[in-house]
């Protein structure tokens, strides 16, 4: 059996994932903060298993990334996923700043978009699916997600449903532009607002097929440009929530967070949980549905990126 060169003693790459990478087969990275902090149990467990299944059904290998007892795992066993899903929010939420700490202390935790990008890039994975990226938060206190600068230095295709309307979306798009991140609307010309299909904000370009996205990514990588291609897919219509329905709820959750002085890394998980409560679970349904949609699109893009599928490409 071939093996990948050992990246570092801090990584454990699941055999199935390293074999797929060696054989240039499609691989999709999946984040784990959505499991540890983003969704309640048992939805988080069903979701994590379901996303892996979506990726497999679309003929790619899933690599859920997480920190377990001080090791960066790329690809998890069923038992490891279950442990993360049942350990609750006591675990660390791992972004760029947290790797050294978690490794030295032998901690476990969910990797954010930023954390997952670092591990996926180091492992040479090219495609990553998530729900929504972090962004520039509204108002004071000053808060910009570490996801944004990380997208600026990670040459991966990242599939998401935009960024949540809990954030300042115009400012988030400006920050992505500063970081050199191309925003590609997947079968849309609008930047989706996570729960809602539209935001009134435009994307840089719209792509209609996985091949179209793959051509853009390959051209960018051939130039050695190190920033991500952010593919934004609207949430599926049957569970998406119109702006008018979710805006008031978001305002209320934001006001409560301010009143309770919740800020920093705790803010995003607090807002997600509160919005789910206030919407009577409708936001949770939309969240789950868009996560599945993104995983499937990501697998199709990963397949389109493999050389055999692009042998006849015209970049
Ligand atoms: N957006 C979601 N669900 C999530 C997150 C974002 O719709 O669970 C998580 C992601 O892991 C993202 C992180 O990377 O929150 C951003 O946290 P912060 O805003 O603290 O950077
Ligand atoms: Mn933050």
Least confident of 80-89, 110-119, 155-164, 282-291: 80-89
Q: Measured from the CB, is residue 268 less than 6 Å from ligand 1? A: yes
Best residue for ligand 1 mutational test, from 134, 168, 196, 276 (most atoms within 8 Å of Cβ): 134
Residue 129: which of 302, 286, 264, 266 has the closest Cα? Answer: 302
pLDDT for the residue 166: 85
Kindly give the distance from the C-alpha atom of residue 30 to the centroid of ligand 1, in angstroms, as a whole number.
13
**Identity of the highest mean pLDDT range in 7-11, 36-40, 127-131:** 127-131
Residue 157's DSSP bridge partners are 127, 229
The neighbour count for residue 237, using CB atoms within 10 Å, is: 8
Helix intervals (H) in 58-96: 78-87
Mean pLDDT within 308-314: 52
Predicted pLDDT at 140: 65
Instruction: Examine the pLDDT at 241 and tell me if it is beyond 50.
Output: yes
Q: Which two tokens stand for residue 84?
A: 């993360």
162 lines ligand 1 (CB under 6 A): no
Mean pLDDT of 10-37: 97
Q: What angle do CA 48, 50, 54 make, to 5 degrees?
A: 120
Domains and CATH numbers, the chain: 1-125 (3.40.1790.10), 132-310 (3.40.1790.10)
Distance 141 CA to ligand 2 centre (A): 10
CB 169 within 8 A of CB 136: no
How far apart, in whole angstroms, are the C-alpha atoms of residue 123 and residue 17?
A: 10
- Residue whose token pair is 């990126």: 305
Residue 3 pLDDT: 60
Rounded-to-integer distance, Cα 216 and Cα 305, Å: 10
Q: Is 34 in the pocket of ligand 1 (CB under 6 A)?
A: yes
Q: Please give the model's pTM, rounded to 2 decimal places.
A: 0.95
Residues 132-153: what's their mean pLDDT? 92
User: In the predicted model, what is the mean pLDDT of residues 25-51?
Assistant: 96
Q: Is the pLDDT of residue 117 over 60?
A: yes
Residues in the chain: 315
| pLDDT at position 139 | 79
Rounded distance from Cα 16 to ligand 1 centre (Å): 27
Q: Are strands 157-160 and 61-68 parallel, antiparallel or unpaired?
A: unpaired
């Amino acid at each position: 059996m071939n093996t990948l060169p050992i990246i570092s003693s801090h990584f454990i790459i699941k055999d199935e994932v390293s074999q797929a990478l060696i054989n240039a087969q499609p691989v999709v990275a999946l984040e784990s903060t959505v499991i540890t902090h983003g969704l309640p149990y048992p939805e988080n467990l069903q979701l994590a298993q379901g996303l892996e299944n979506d990726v497999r059904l679309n003929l790619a290998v899933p690599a859920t990334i997480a920190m377990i007892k001080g090791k960066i795992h790329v690809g998890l066993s069923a038992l490891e996923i279950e442990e993360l899903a049942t350990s609750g929010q006591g675990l660390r939420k791992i972004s760029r700043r947290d790797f050294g700490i978690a490794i030295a202390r032998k901690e476990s935790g969910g990797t954010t978009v930023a954390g997952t990008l670092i591990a996926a890039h180091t492992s040479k994975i090219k495609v990553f699916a998530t729900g929504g990226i972090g962004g520039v938060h509204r108002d004071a206190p000053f808060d910009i997600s570490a996801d944004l600068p990380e997208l600026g230095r990670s040459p991966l295709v990242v599939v998401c449903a935009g960024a949540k309307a809990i954030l300042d979306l115009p400012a988030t798009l400006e920050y992505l532009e500063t970081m050199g991140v191309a925003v590609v609307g997947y079968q849309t010309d609008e930047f989706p607002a996570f729960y809602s299909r539209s935001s009134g904000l435009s994307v840089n370009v719209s792509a209609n097929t996985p091949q179209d996205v793959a051509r853009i990514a390959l051209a960018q990588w051939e130039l050695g440009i190190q920033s991500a291609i952010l593919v934004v897919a609207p949430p599926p219509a049957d569970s998406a929530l119109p702006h008018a329905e979710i805006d008031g709820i978001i305002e209320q959750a934001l006001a409560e967070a301010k009143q309770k002085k919740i800020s920093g890394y705790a803010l995003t998980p607090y807002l997600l949980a509160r919005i789910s409560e206030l919407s009577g679970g409708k936001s949770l349904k939309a969240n789950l549905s868009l996560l599945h949609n993104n995983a499937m699109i990501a697998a199709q893009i990963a397949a389109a990126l493999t050389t055999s599928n692009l042998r006849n490409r015209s970049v």
